[in-house]
Amino acid sequence: MNSKTITKRKDNFSQWLTARGAEVLEPTSEWELMRFRAGDETSVIYRNKAEQVNFTGGSLEAWNAYRNNLKWRAAPKTTRKRMARKKRTPIIISLFKRDGNLCFFCQKELGHDFTREHLVSITHGGPDNTHNMVLAHSQCNNDVGHLSAAEKIRIHVESVIKNANKVCSKTAD
């Protein structure tokens, strides 16, 4: 691959990286085409004198995910413990009192398979308090984990409206 390919797609790639939580940094030399931080790692795409491209850190993985429209996250995937009903912490209890027993995203009853979701992830600087937390099915949480807080709230609002329309149509019958 030559450096012209990267240079042509640099702006779109930068936006793509930023949308997935990476921090795009300024190049530190004339040979660097791109520099970004993903989690604790700084990755660089640079060119040599022959205009050939070299990748360091996780830059090749990110570039391939971008080119092939694959999933990619800047931060390492977090694992969340599933909480059984009998092990509800004070935080979980307060979230149930505040939000009820419905998944934030799909508005269906939670049951036993739920997790705590941060609207603004901790890796993106979100606070670890109840103002930034909701309860969600594990699958719903996994499906939206990479989205911004605004996108998560949009999904919530659309689900609430969809359920309200169902209720209205049932009462109209």
Q: Domain boundaries in the chain? A: 3-68, 85-171
What per-residue confidence (pLDDT) applies to 36? 93
Instruction: Report d(CA 160, CA 94) in Å as an integer.
Output: 21
Give the three-class secondary structure for 12: helix
Instruction: Say whether domain 3-68 belongs to CATH 3.30.310.
Output: yes
What per-residue confidence (pLDDT) applies to 144? 87
Q: Which amino acid is at 112?
A: H
What per-residue confidence (pLDDT) applies to 103? 94
The DSSP element (H or E) to which 15 belongs, if any, is helix 3-19
What per-residue confidence (pLDDT) applies to 147? 85
CATH fold label, 85-171: DNA Binding (I), subunit A (1.10.30)
Range with lowest mean pLDDT among 50-59, 107-116, 118-127: 118-127
Nearest to 137 by CA among 105, 164, 160: 105
Q: What is the pTM of this model?
A: 0.49
The beta strand positions in the chain, using DSSP E, are 23-25, 32-38, 41-47, 53-55, 114-118, 133-137
pLDDT (tens digit per residue) in 14-72: 999 988 888 899 989 999 999 999 888 899 999 999 989 999 999 999 999 999 999 99
DSSP state of 159: H
pLDDT band at residue 108 under the 50/70/90 scheme = very high
